[in-house]
Homo-oligomer: A and B are copies of this chain.
Amino acid sequence: MADRITFQVNGTDGAARTGAISTPRGEIRTPAFMPVGTAATVKAMLPGSVRETGADILLGNTYHLMLRPTAERIARLGGLHRFMNWERPILTDSGGFQVMSLSGLRKLTEKGVTFKSHIDGSKHELTPERSMEIQALLGSDIVMCFDECPALPANRDRIAASMVLSMRWAARSRDAFGDRPGHALFGIQQGGLEPDLREQSARALVDIGFDGYAVGGLAVGEGQEAMFACLDHATGHLPTDKPRYLMGVGKPDDIVGAVKRGIDMMDCVLPSRSGRTGQAFTRHGVVNIKNARHQDDARPLDENCRCPACTGYSRAYLHHVFRAKEMISGMLLTWHNLTYFQDIMAGMRSAIATGGFTAWEGEFHATRAMGDIEPL
């Protein structure tokens, strides 16, 4: 089965589950956090370092890559894995979400979306068929359906219309994807915060049949409580024997709450983006390294962390290089944040496997509630 993508659940604890997705490019331990490598690089990191944090899979952005350096160019150069020097699995999004959030002068029709590039104003088109073609050119291991994602809040009619359009696009994506051994196609559930629309969307996707199912259209401004309430029922409509992927999530406590509700995969720019703005995620919560309280602090960011920022440097150093706008600041804090996110995932995988998820979750929240160490 080395040329097929398979999913196996090895343990459950409540709704939470742990397992593995097997692909020709390696195993993805679940629940998995996928660092985002937007423009064929996880910002401020070399791929070997990303792997050292514990990542089994990266996410690439169709929208960015189709505009620069273009999917055709990446294909000529041997595909995205070789291009960015990451030989393990890559999931690509469909471009749909970022066309809506980044490009100019969009026009949405039944066929797809035409838009202008945010880089040079050039005109482009994305359709389910073109998105499948681009993701095939990139050589993505896990391909996402092309969908439309309305910003929340939106009225029910808008959400319903968008969802049924996305379901028609999901069927076209499935047809265009065809049969590609070793590559998976995931459907994306929509329906906003409306339980019946979520259920209707899930049924439509299952009827089409996918290798995995994403929960889309969340983490777009609705707040954690609403997101969790939606997940409480949304995941229940999705098949138990396929991976469930919550797109664009999230903060550490969002991730833990999503896994608790049966999510297997997540991605977010938060650990890398925050690393470049001086924000570190630790077991004790968020630390803003630019704060003057750190300037004479010889202690590490987190004395129990295994990353180079914590084993090699003081808070005073991290503060200094952030203030001096040195590249090593973003490099070290990104490495730390990605390590912390992967350590959360490893902790949850292990806790679920031994039936200790509730205890693990309690400790996770209790440690965060303690807050950062006292200033010197």
Contact = CB atoms under 8 A, between A and B. Distances in A.
Contact of A326 (B41, B76, B317, B326): B41
Interface in A37-64: 39-41, 43-48
B39 A324 contact: yes
Given A46-B308, A77-B296, A298-B78, A327 B317 contact: no
A321 interface: yes
A85 B321 CA distance: 13
Interface in A297-315: 298, 308, 312-314
Contacts of A39: 320-321, 324, 326
Contacts of A45: 328
Contacts of A327: 41, 43-44, 327, 330-331
A316 to B, nearest CB: 5
A326 B38 CA distance: 10
Nearest to A327: B44
B326 A69 contact: no
Contacts of A48: 308
A48 B49 CA distance: 13
14 contacts: A39-B321, A40-B317, A40-B321, A44-B331, A45-B328, A46-B308, A46-B332, A47-B312, A68-B323, A73-B295, A77-B316, A83-B316, A85-B312, A327-B331
Contacts of A326: 39, 41, 43
Contacts of A40: 317, 320-321
B46 A314 contact: no
A346 interface: no
Copies in the complex: 2
Contacts of A312: 47, 85
A219 interface: no
Interface string A337-370: 0000000000000000000000000000000000
Shortest 6 CB-CB contacts between residues of A and residues of B: A85-B312, A69-B320, A41-B328, A44-B327, A39-B324, A41-B326
Nearest to A326: B41
A287 to B, nearest CB: 18
Contacts of A76: 296, 298
Contact of A46 (B43, B296, B316, B328): B328
A273 to B, nearest CB: 12
Q: Which of A312, A320, A326 has the most CB of B within 10 A?
A: A320
Contacts of A204: none
A151 interface: no
Contacts of A220: none
A84 interface: yes
A335 to B, nearest CB: 9
Contacts of A323: 68-69
A311 to B, nearest CB: 9
Contacts of A46: 308, 328, 331-332
Given A41-B328, A45-B328, A83-B320, 17 more contacts: A39-B320, A39-B321, A39-B324, A39-B326, A40-B317, A43-B327, A44-B328, A46-B328, A47-B312, A68-B323, A69-B316, A69-B323, A73-B296, A76-B296, A77-B316, A83-B316, A331-B331
A135 to B, nearest CB: 18
A44 B331 CA distance: 8
